[in-house]
Chain A
């Protein structure tokens, strides 16, 4: 009999493995092993792509989208805020990521000056 794949279980395990890999990547980055950290991020992303699982939200911004280096602000990343966006520069490869926060600005503006 052909054993059928259980997609739900596969995706659950994939998610768990991604979280453990990202945690390991973080601890290796803190121990100044950027090479290992990058390898773990890469593996976690590969698992996610294979089983259609998203990168867990807490780790979404924690690595460089270009070279997969684990980003630690001031150690392996430069973080600057202004002009409606957060700019993160990877100090390993120089790639720049921008995270706009215009939506947050708009809601704040709306709550500050209530319509008369």
Chain B
């Protein structure tokens, strides 16, 4: 399954790489998504992570790792634009 086109909100995710060293290795649940960012809930704390320059690993069956730049679309556009 291509997660690029599917819903990311609600999934557990780990930030594998980020341009901001303080954001690396953060883990949490996606609670919101915009064109340029994902908002993670990290034990009650909301953190906004830019997609550009970050790499995410989503905790789904089999695991799914992706460059944030590849999903840099509005959430409703991702179905037709991301591939």
Contacts and interface: CB of A to CB of B under 8 A. Distances in A.
Interface of A: 3, 5, 10, 13-14, 16-17, 20-21, 24, 36, 39-40, 43, 46-47, 50-51
A20 B79 contact: no
Chain A residues touching B, majority SS: helix
A24 B11 CA distance: 11
B5 A50 contact: no
A17 B7 contact: yes
Contacts of B83: 3
Central interface residue in B10, B31, B33, B79, by most chain A CB within 10 Å: B79
A1 B33 CA distance: 31
Chain B residues touching A, majority SS: loop
Interface string B61-82: 0000000000000011101100
B52 interface: no
Interface residues of B, number: 14
Contacts, number: 39
B7 to A, nearest CB: 4
A30 to B, nearest CB: 14
A16 B6 contact: yes
B80 A36 contact: no
A3 B77 CA distance: 16
B32 A39 contact: yes
B17 interface: no
Interface string B1-42: 000011101100000000000000000000111000000000
Nearest to A6: B80
Given A17-B7, A20-B10, A24-B9, A47 B76 contact: yes
A43 B80 CA distance: 15
Nearest to B2: A13
A24 B33 CA distance: 14
Contacts of B10: 20, 24
